[in-house]
């Protein structure tokens, strides 16, 4: 471990003075952070937190969670916490410091895994808290500092004062290598200091700062042409085509803004890691005026971007009451993720098709894949969309990810969104749609800032738009795990669900692991050849047919047949063992969505409305 210290007393003195002066902003009730990126290859952020107006004592905390519904205890990354009295202190009328010369220096005591108590010992005024925090994890849900770049989710490196979270905060990002730039939704000022650079920003409160990711490094930055308000792209990676990304992201942004009526930001930023920079991590994380996206290939970017950009409305403005205000210290349980994430998936796929980035066949295929995934999981028989949402905090446990234990609120919510859309269109002769429900909720909750009451307000908004009850739909298919009525609803939109079955190879066990190294066996099917050969839960798979274990086991299985021999070298306790067995076989059911050749006029209009995002009741009545 590398200890935390300032190697240059002059540098520390300058930073202290800078923090004390607070640039051009008032000192009053402004908590300030200076984050040093000196020696990024050591993966340590050096943080100085300046807390003004301290009286007697103050408590500081480190968030336990952010970005993922997982308790990750970011304080575990902290090496050392120290406190000092700031150089600038309150003065009396004569201009003399009010602190007695023999005043005891401030002290700090850790109270629990997230909390420290600082006592001023009579020296009330401004306190500096210093610590180092280690991060080197790729992806939009983490934070990373290395010789190539820095990506920062601020809540993962910055403490806060619990009772002062609503106060304005300032951030200075210092000791940025001279060849690097920095970008993010809040980055404002730039100052050159010798061979380093410093960037600064001001936020309304800690939560706004926590919701503003930062990228620093050698990246390309460009503005999407013709977009107002501005949309910027910060991309760090390789093997991408700028023009293609411009075209795809512009289509996505323009369609979703048109759909929802107005852009809710003054400037938006896409932070994208692709290729080697993604380092195997994937996914996207929504923020109030930005998103951070990590994709292995630029071809995956539109699908993630369409989902994340729609979060501008659904989640970031249309917010469930169960998730707001944020409590960084404990789990916040909600039944609404099927809507907040799943229906956002619905609109991600709608956007790709309606903007011309997908064909309608791709939309049908994607929905068929979601149904296939959902119906293949035995847990679908008992875990409802609401329960899947509540259980999001269990996702960090590999066993919970197995098909017998859970379903995805992303997949189930996406399907429910499409089914609800068709029902609304059918009940209103295609005069209204789920689009109207989202706009209604944005007007009622997004614009006003009032959070909604999980599934209840979604149901009430749908009923208001459709002019009738959806109690049975929400009771049976959202709150409960009744089989979804695919055929009965898809036929209303001139669609049919086709089912096929085929045999495929099966391992007989589930395993996962990091990007490199051994895989961990998470479960073993009781009647499988793997179990008969002696494979056990918890075994570490060191070798797979003489080579490295595959990272994508499902892809590996698709290239092999049942009956083939699999050779494993595993470690159990302190012993290495060889285990050989033949691949098993299972029947797999696949679902495909297709247009129904005998669809009536009304169903065809509904289908076209769903595909194009239109309503045309007047046209329908004229043709009947």
Task: Kindly indicate the confidence band of residue 269, based on its pLDDT and cuts at 50, 70 and 90.
Answer: very high
Does a structural domain hold residue 152?
Answer: yes
pLDDT at residue 206 tops 60: yes
Residue 425 · residue 608 · CB < 8 Å: no
Residue 119 · residue 105 · CB < 8 Å: no
Taking residues 599-608, report their average pLDDT. Answer: 97
Does a structural domain hold residue 198?
Answer: yes
Peptide bond into 221 cis (omega under 30): no
Chain length of the chain = 624
Taking residues 553-579, report their average pLDDT. Answer: 94
Taking residues 550-562, report their average pLDDT. Answer: 88
Reference 142, options 86, 66, 221; nearest CA is: 66
Q: Which residues on neighbouring strands pair with residue 61, listed in sequence order? A: 115, 160
Number of helices followed by number of strands (H, E) in the chain: 17, 26
Taking residues 208-219, report their average pLDDT. Answer: 97
pLDDT at residue 94 tops 60: no
pLDDT at residue 5 tops 60: no
| Residue 379 neighbours by CB under 8 Å, 6+ apart | 403, 404, 405, 406, 407
What are φ and ψ of residue 288, in 5° steps?
Answer: -60, -40
**Predicted pLDDT at 328:** 98
Taking the C-alpha atoms of residue 427 and residue 437, their distance in angstroms, rounded to an integer, is 14
pLDDT at residue 373 tops 80: yes
Task: Kindly indicate the confidence band of residue 619, based on its pLDDT and cuts at 50, 70 and 90.
Answer: very low
Taking the C-alpha atoms of residue 48 and residue 35, their distance in angstroms, rounded to an integer, is 7
Taking residues 296-308, report their average pLDDT. Answer: 96
Does a structural domain hold residue 135?
Answer: yes
Does a structural domain hold residue 95?
Answer: yes
- Count structural domains, the chain: 2
Q: What is the pLDDT of residues 144-203, one digit of tens each?
A: 999 999 999 999 999 999 999 999 999 999 999 999 999 999 887 667 666 678 899 999
Helices (H), 445-541: 454-466, 471-473, 486-490, 529-532
Edge-to-edge strands, sheet with 115-119 = 57-61, 115-119, 107-110
Does a structural domain hold residue 333?
Answer: no
Task: Kindly indicate the confidence band of residue 86, based on its pLDDT and cuts at 50, 70 and 90.
Answer: confident
**Predicted pLDDT at 99:** 53
- pLDDT, the chain, mean: 91
Does a structural domain hold residue 117?
Answer: yes
CB atoms within 10 A of CB 496: 17
Taking the C-alpha atoms of residue 533 and residue 565, their distance in angstroms, rounded to an integer, is 12
Q: What is the pLDDT of residues 350-360, one digit of tens each?
A: 999 999 999 99
**Predicted pLDDT at 549:** 93
Taking the C-alpha atoms of residue 155 and residue 203, their distance in angstroms, rounded to an integer, is 13
**Predicted pLDDT at 26:** 41
| Residue 122 neighbours by CB under 8 Å, 6+ apart | 99, 100, 103, 104
The three-state secondary structure class of 263 is coil
Rounded to the nearest angstrom, the gap between the alpha carbon of residue 433 and the centroid of all alpha carbons in its chain is 28
pLDDT at residue 457 tops 60: yes
**Predicted pLDDT at 51:** 97
Reference 387, options 406, 403, 400; nearest CA is: 406
Domain range holding 534? 508-582
Taking the C-alpha atoms of residue 293 and residue 321, their distance in angstroms, rounded to an integer, is 26
Rounded to the nearest angstrom, the gap between the alpha carbon of residue 192 and the centroid of all alpha carbons in its chain is 33
Task: Kindly indicate the confidence band of residue 19, based on its pLDDT and cuts at 50, 70 and 90.
Answer: very low
The three-state secondary structure class of 509 is strand
Residue 90 · residue 98 · CB < 8 Å: yes
**Predicted pLDDT at 415:** 98
Contacts for 598-604 with beta carbons within 8 Å, 24 or more apart?
A: 599/491, 599/494, 599/495, 600/494, 602/426, 602/429, 602/430, 603/491, 603/492, 603/493, 603/494, 604/494
CB atoms within 10 A of CB 311: 22
Q: Which two tokens stand for residue 530?
A: 């793997």
The three-state secondary structure class of 544 is strand
CATH of the domain at 167: 2.60.40.3650
Taking residues 330-344, report their average pLDDT. Answer: 98
Lowest mean pLDDT among 31-45, 61-75, 83-97, 291-305: 83-97
Residue listed under structure tokens 């961990």: 520
Does a structural domain hold residue 199?
Answer: yes
**Predicted pLDDT at 1:** 32
Residue listed under structure tokens 């797999």: 588
Taking the C-alpha atoms of residue 550 and residue 558, their distance in angstroms, rounded to an integer, is 12
> Could you please report the per-residue DSSP string of 304-326?
HHHHHHHTTTBTTTB-BGGG-S-
Q: What is the pLDDT of residues 20-71, one digit of tens each?
A: 444 433 444 599 999 999 999 999 999 999 999 999 999 999 999 999 999 9
- Quick one: three-class SS letters along 351-420? HHHHCCCCCHHHHHHHHHHHHHHHHCCHHHHCCCHHHHHHHHHHCCCHHHHCCCCCCCHHHHHHHHHHHH
pLDDT at residue 100 tops 80: no
Q: Which residues on neighbouring strands pair with residue 270, listed in sequence order? A: 233, 291
Residue 141 · residue 151 · CB < 8 Å: no
Q: Which two tokens stand for residue 559?
A: 């290239």
Taking the C-alpha atoms of residue 297 and residue 362, their distance in angstroms, rounded to an integer, is 19
pLDDT at residue 14 tops 90: no
| Residue 503 neighbours by CB under 8 Å, 6+ apart | 562, 585, 586, 587, 588
Q: Which residue has the higher pLDDT, 187 or 221?
A: 221
In angstroms, how far is the first alpha carbon of the chain from the final one?
77
> Could you please report the per-residue DSSP string of 408-469?
-HHHHHHHHHHHHHHHHHHHTTTS--HHHHHHHHIIIIITT-PPB-HHHHHHHHHHHHHTS-
The three-state secondary structure class of 330 is coil
**Predicted pLDDT at 401:** 85
CATH of the domain at 553: 2.30.42.10
Does a structural domain hold residue 320?
Answer: no
Taking residues 440-451, report their average pLDDT. Answer: 97
Taking residues 303-315, report their average pLDDT. Answer: 98
Q: What is the pLDDT of residues 104-152, one digit of tens each?
A: 899 999 999 999 999 998 767 899 999 999 999 999 999 999 999 999 9
CB atoms within 10 A of CB 372: 17
Last residue of a domain, one of 215, 236, 262: 215
Taking the C-alpha atoms of residue 270 and residue 243, their distance in angstroms, rounded to an integer, is 15
CB atoms within 10 A of CB 599: 18
**Predicted pLDDT at 552:** 81
DSSP type of residue 301? H
Bin 390: left if φ > 0, else alpha if -120 < ψ < 50, else beta. Answer: alpha
């Amino acid at each position: 471990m590398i200890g935390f210290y300032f190697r240059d007393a002059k540098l520390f003195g300058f930073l202290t003075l800078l923090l004390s002066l607070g640039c051009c902003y008032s000192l009053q009730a402004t908590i300030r952070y200076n984050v040093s990126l000196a020696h990024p290859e050591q993966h340590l952020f050096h943080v100085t937190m300046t807390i003004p107006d301290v009286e007697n004592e103050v408590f500081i905390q480190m968030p336990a969670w952010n970005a993922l519904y997982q308790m990750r205890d970011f304080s575990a990354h902290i090496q050392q916490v120290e406190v000092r009295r700031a150089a600038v202190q309150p003065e009396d009328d004569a201009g003399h410091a009010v602190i007695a010369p023999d005043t005891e220096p401030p002290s700090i005591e850790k109270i629990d895994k997230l909390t420290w108590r600082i006592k001023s010992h009579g020296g009330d005024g401004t306190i500096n808290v210093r610590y180092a925090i280690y991060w080197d994890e790729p992806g939009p849900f983490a934070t990373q500092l290395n010789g190539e770049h820095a990506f920062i989710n601020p809540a993962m490196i910055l403490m806060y004062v619990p009772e002062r979270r609503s106060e304005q905060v300032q951030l200075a990002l210092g000791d940025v290598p001279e060849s690097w730039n920095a970008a993010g939704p809040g980055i404002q000022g730039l100052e050159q200091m010798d061979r380093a650079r410093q960037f600064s920003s001001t936020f309304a409160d800690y939560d706004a700062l926590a919701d503003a990711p930062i990228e620093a490094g050698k990246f390309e930055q460009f503005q999407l042409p013709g977009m107002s308000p501005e949309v910027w792209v910060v991309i760090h990676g390789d093997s991408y085509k700028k023009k293609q990304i411009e075209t795809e992201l512009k289509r996505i942004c323009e369609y979703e803004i048109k759909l929802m009526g107005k852009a809710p930001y003054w400037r938006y930023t896409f932070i994208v890691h692709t290729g080697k920079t993604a380092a195997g991590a994937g996914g996207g994380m929504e923020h109030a005026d930005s998103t951070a996206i990590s994709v292995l290939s630029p071809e995956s970017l539109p699908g993630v971007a369409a989902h994340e950009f729609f979060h501008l409305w659904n989640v970031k403005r249309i917010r469930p009451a169960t998730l707001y205000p944020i409590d960084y210290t404990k789990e916040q349980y909600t039944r609404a993720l099927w809507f907040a994430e799943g229906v956002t998936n619905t609109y991600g796929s709608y956007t790709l098709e309606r903007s011309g980035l997908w064909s309608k066949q791709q939309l049908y295929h994607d929905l068929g894949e979601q149904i296939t995934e959902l119906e293949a999981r035995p847990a679908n028989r008992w875990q409802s969309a609401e329960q899947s949402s509540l259980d999001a905090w269990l996702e960090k446990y590999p066993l919970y990810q197995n098909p017998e234990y859970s379903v995805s609120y992303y997949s189930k919510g996406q399907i429910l969104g499409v089914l609800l859309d068709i029902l609304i269109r059918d009940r209103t002769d295609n005069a209204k749609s789920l689009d109207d429900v989202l706009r209604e909720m944005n007007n009622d909750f997004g614009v006003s800032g009032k959070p909604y009451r999980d599934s209840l307000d979604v149901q009430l908004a749908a009923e208001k738009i459709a002019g009738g009850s959806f109690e049975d739909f929400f009771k049976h298919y959202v709150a409960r795990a009744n089989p979804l009525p695919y055929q009965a609803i898809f036929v209303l939109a001139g669609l049919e669900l086709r089912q096929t079955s085929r045999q495929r190879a099966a391992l007989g066990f589930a395993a996962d692991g990091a990007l490199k190294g051994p895989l961990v066996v998470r479960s073993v099917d009781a009647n499988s050849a793997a179990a008969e050969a002696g494979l056990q839960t918890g075994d570490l798979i060191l070798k797979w047919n003489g080579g490295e274990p595959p990272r994508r086991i499902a892809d590996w299985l698709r290239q092999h047949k049942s009956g083939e021999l699999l050779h494993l070298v595993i470690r159990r306790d302190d012993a290495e063992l060889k285990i050989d067995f033949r691949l098993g076989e299972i029947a797999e059911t696949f679902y495909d969505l297709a247009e129904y050749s005998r669809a009536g006029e009304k169903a065809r209009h509904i289908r076209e409305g769903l595909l194009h995002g239109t309503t045309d009741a007047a046209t329908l009545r004229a043709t009947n």
